[in-house]
């Protein structure tokens, strides 16, 4: 999955797509996932990093990551 290169995100979670003018508000974990995806981290690496940082089980993180990626796809924030 490759995110569009022109997306901008603030530390407070404001995500802006200059191509469409759309903006989104992400929670702190969403910001972290987005930044890891920008770096090109694999799903397994993201899951491992989040497991180390948060008191949550692997199934929850896996589902949340999958849901997040579906949201990115639905809002056309990835390159096909």
Block means of pLDDT (10 residues each) for the chain, 80 residues, are: 90 94 94 94 96 93 95 88
pLDDT at 80: 59
Instruction: Give yes or no for a contact between 4 and 55, defined as CB atoms under 8 angstroms apart.
Output: no
Q: Rounded to an integer, what distance in angstroms lies between the CA atom of residue 26 and that of residue 12?
A: 8
The ranges assigned to domains in the chain are 2-79
DSSP secondary structure code for residue 3 in this structure = E
Q: Which stretches does DSSP call E strand in the chain?
A: 2-3, 8-9, 14-17, 22-25, 78-79
CATH topology of domain 2-79: Arc Repressor Mutant, subunit A (1.10.10)
* pTM as predicted: 0.88
pLDDT at 11: 87
């Amino acid at each position: 999955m490759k995110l569009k290169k022109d997306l901008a995100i603030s530390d407070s979670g404001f995500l802006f797509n200059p191509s469409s003018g759309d903006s989104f508000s992400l929670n702190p974990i969403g910001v972290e996932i987005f930044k890891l995806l920008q770096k090109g981290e694999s799903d397994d690496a993201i899951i491992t990093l989040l497991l180390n940082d948060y008191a949550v089980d692997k199934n929850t993180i896996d589902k949340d990551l999958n849901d997040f990626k579906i949201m990115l796809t639905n809002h056309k924030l990835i390159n096909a």
